[in-house]
Amino acid sequence: MVPLAVSAVLACRMLVATTLIPPWQQPDENSHVAQVELARTRITGSGYSPDPAREAEILRSMSGYDFWEHRARGFPIPAVIPESFTAAGARVGTPAGGGLTPPAYFPAAGRLLSWLPRLSVVQDMYILRGISAIFGMLTLWVAWLAAREGLGPFGGATVAMLLALHPQFAIVSTAATPDAVANLFGACLWWMAVAAVMRQRYLWPLAGVWLAAGAAAAADRMGVPLLAVALSVSVVVLRLHARDRGWLSRTRTLGMLLLAAVVFGASIWLLFASGVSYGLQSIFSGSLAPVPEARTWEYFARFTSFLHQSWWASLGWGRYPPPSWWIGTTIALTAMAAVGAAWSVFRGRTIDGRTRVILGLAAVSLTIQVAAVYWVYFRLAVGPQGKSLFPVLVPSLMLLWAGLTAWIPETRRAHAAVALVAAFAVLDAAIWGLVAIPAYYASL
């Protein structure tokens, strides 16, 4: 019953998101659709022929849906609709991917569109939004499986419902971008990580950890940090399962894991080479030192504040912020959860050893992903996006729930779960009623 109930909740929210958010109003949706159009082919009388990127058609559609009016403050509205993204300005996006081989999402989605009749760019965009919604729904099911195995049936049901009601998750899961794909593989990695900790037979789950990490890294550059997460999980699981064995058993296990690492590392590179290469090049491009704009505490505070806010909810590239009471509520929840999670991991006595290991790995995973966001965005003084943390959204929500329950007596945790789910529902309703609808439909 739990998967069906949470699936129904998320399906309703994704329907609201894809209906209320106009075309091209998701971050980078225009350039991602253009890259898919570049990768597609179309059926002709003599077989297949390349389909152009259709930039001019996308730009005309963007103008028709008030793209520039809803873009970030200070971005000029062009007097004449441009014919290419280059003429429209760098902030509109470029389908060429900076000259690098694009992530695997784009050729795969382009091939899928090649099987369909040639539709308008808006119709193609909605098809890609629908594909993202499917990946979002699969992510929810995987999250339930992971949380149930790591925190028990009650904890699994609670975390699944929190994900279904997370204000930003439905928005990201209905965007015509690779984000939903990376989020699904991130959730799969975490499910396999939990399984490797909880089960005696852990080699196959570890193999799943590495395959999920490789697929996430190939799908989107913010999936690349999951390779470091996979390495951390492997080290912890090896130490955990070898702790009570003799040196010969430990040596045999280490040898098997080293051999498996070589085999799976080579497999990941062969399967996902172009996408992973793109992610690595885009993450480690440029100077190692931060640009001058990123060397002030004022910018650090502003960056950190918006990263936290946009993890919870962000519309219109940050142009439409939630109310101050909304932001204050999310800060309070985050602070309480952080303190409670730290207490549970380091000093708590109400959780068993395996659960403590899982929460510790969740904290490590979140730390790695946060560090990657600061490296990619803060170093270059580029505005952060909370959705970049969504490849580790499932362990983040497990930490949130475990951290908040550390403050609650065990006999009251059912009430706490109901209260927290209700709080998420109120926060989500406020985003649509107080932010999205007034922003996009004020003239109605």
The fraction of the chain above a pLDDT of 70, given in percent, is 80
Contact present, 203 and 422 (Cβ < 8 Å): no
| Per-residue confidence band for 396, with pLDDT thresholds at 50, 70 and 90 | very high
Residue 138 maps to a domain:
yes
pLDDT attached to residue 308? 94
Could you tell me which residue, 98 or 123, shows the higher pLDDT?
123
Express each pLDDT in 400-440 by its tens digit.
999 998 888 888 889 999 999 999 999 999 999 999 999 88
Q: CA 86, CA 335: separation in Å to the nearest integer?
A: 43
Does residue 272 register a pLDDT over 70?
A: no
Q: Indicate the Cα dihedral angle 184, 185, 191, 193, nearest 10°.
A: -150
Does residue 96 register a pLDDT over 80?
A: no
CB within 8 Å of 8: residues ≥ 6 apart: none
Residue 44 per-residue DSSP state: E
Q: CA 320, CA 313: separation in Å to the nearest integer?
A: 10
Residue 337 maps to a domain:
yes
CB within 8 Å of 139: residues ≥ 6 apart: 163, 173, 180, 183, 184, 187, 394
Alpha carbon separation from 260 to 207, 211, 242, 252, 290 (Å, rounded): 8, 12, 16, 12, 37
Domain that holds residue 229: 2-44+46-76+123-440
Residue 117 maps to a domain:
no
**Which of 81-95, 205-219, 359-373 is predicted most confidently?**
359-373
Domain count across the chain: 1
Average pLDDT, the chain: 83
- 2-20 and 121-165 helices, crossing angle to 10°: 140
pLDDT attached to residue 97? 46
| Per-residue confidence band for 381, with pLDDT thresholds at 50, 70 and 90 | confident
Residue 89 maps to a domain:
no
Residue 86 maps to a domain:
no
Q: CA 356, CA 36: separation in Å to the nearest integer?
A: 43
Express each pLDDT in 203-235 by its tens digit.
788 888 988 998 888 888 888 889 889 988 988
Residue 169 maps to a domain:
yes
